[in-house]
Amino acid sequence: MFKTRLLSGIILVALALILIISGGEILLVSTAMISMIGQYELYRVFHVEKKAPGLLGYLFTACYFADLEYSFLPDLEVAVIVFLILLLAIFVFSFPKYKADQIMAAFFGIFYVSIMLSFIYQTRMIENGAYIVWLIFLCSWGCDTCAYCVGVLLGKHKMAPILSPKKSVEGAIGGVCGAFLLTLLYSFIFRAQMGVSLKEMLILGLISAVGGLISMVGDLAASAIKRNYEIKDYGTLIPGHGGILDRFDSVIITAPIIYYLAVYLVT
């Protein structure tokens, strides 16, 4: 199991490197595909993955990502309202085929998966985005790894004993500090390419620390959904890790945080 998980992790990191370094349409299309797979996994929990509410959700995702490149939607808020109205139309005109929670899940999936994950692409496209985008992974996957190591060594106080008994307060602190230190090291190595001063390096480190703290919310939120619906993993796409949502649960919530903090504090 460990070898499978390790190998899958190495392949996942390699793919992330290739796609994010490439940027542009390659990253846009790949992020859209990952989002749709994540949507499918979430919709499957509510049994709408192959039904009208789910199909409408995939269509909205495709239009949303296409708009990021070609800007053909006159107003995103209007598009979201139209999507909601169409979902409600499906709900009422096919009643009682779908339950209210299925319609709400179809709407929720657009924001929780697609729009949140799109900030990987959006961060990559800002000034210095080729370097800043890695903060998303440093403060999610990096924080998770550091939290696990510190938790195993020093963990005594449970952070969420019912939801996730193995996670500790000490591990959480270690994860946040690890995200900060990893980002400092990363920004120091690439300081010339990024053109950042010591002050900006510290700001980037603090951004990752905040992102690391919030990433735990994303991780636990994904776990809470699984607990509510009594499933172990969202999928089996990534051997040893589960599905897209199992591996990207913390990335989902940190991507927009890193984007906005970077835009307002760094670029």
Tokens of 94: 């096919």
Query: Tens digit of pLDDT for each residue in 75-122?
Result: 888 999 999 999 999 999 999 999 999 999 999 999 999 999 999 999
Measure CA of the first residue to CA of the last residue in the chain; give whole Å: 42
Nearest residue to 118 via CA among 65, 69, 75: 65
Res 33 pLDDT > 60: yes
Which secondary-structure segment (H or E) carries 168? strand 164-168
Whole-number average pLDDT of the chain: 90
How much is the average pLDDT of 192-214? 90
Q: The pTM is what? A: 0.92
